[in-house]
Structure 1
């Protein structure tokens, strides 16, 4: 699947997350420092939106039960989640953010 333009970089809060959809797939765009990451927006533990959680130390924390997921790999770094969430490729070009659902982890 090719890259799909999802938003302007300015729409993604610094050290925060934004919920978007790419071909009916819920995606959490996460900005951490100068990097932008894309993960499946549904927590693998409780099926709530990860984009509503807090971003820190290279992770995003699920607001419901506190599981954190590594922004690069999607793997949980603490319980109760035990399953990773999908990650997707991101590119930022001319101030816009593009996501490809292919080729992530």
Structure 2
């Protein structure tokens, strides 16, 4: 698959997040597209690995998104949990800005260390 248009750069302000659905090789994937406090764009799996609820319903602070149900926090850059009770990371997807278009490819995960 290729990157899919999910929104435009004017759709989110810094420290905002929204859920989008992106088609991939394995089917439809729910993705949380977010901007951190610096305005940098990120795309992560939308489902919390602890409570199986939507991360896009949570809040972004700095470079973290907080799950609204139990308070787990995930680093938007790496997908790593930064606050319990979550202990497993979420996937981080390839996101590209093309002019004012925000594109996400769920078949391309980002490897971070």
Q: Does 1:96 align with 2:87?
A: no
SS at match of 1:77: strand
Distance 2:105 2:80 in 1: 19
Q: 1:55 aligns with which of 47, 56, 60?
A: 60
SS at match of 1:10: helix
Matches within 5 A, 1:1-105: 1-23=1-23, 24-32=28-36, 33-101=38-106, 102-105=108-111
Tell me by how many angstroms 1:34 deviates: 2.3
Distance 1:6 1:56 in 2: 22
Distance 1:14 1:34 in 2: 5
Q: CA RMSD in A?
A: 1.1
Distance 1:103 1:6 in 2: 16
Query: TM-score, with normalisation over the residues of structure 2?
Result: 0.88
Tell me by how many angstroms 1:12 deviates: 2.1
- Residues 34, 14 of structure 1: CA spacing in aligned structure 2 closer, same or farther, 3 A cutoff? closer
Structure 2 unaligned regions, length at least 5? none
Query: TM-score, with normalisation over the residues of structure 1?
Result: 0.94
Contact preservation (8 Å) 2:15, 2:39: no
* Structure 1 runs, 4 residues or longer, greater than 4 Å off: none
Distance 2:10 2:68 in 1: 23
Superposed CA deviations along residues 42-86 of structure 1, whole A, max 9, x for unmatched, are 000001000011111210000000000000110100100010000
Distance 1:14 1:44 in 2: 24
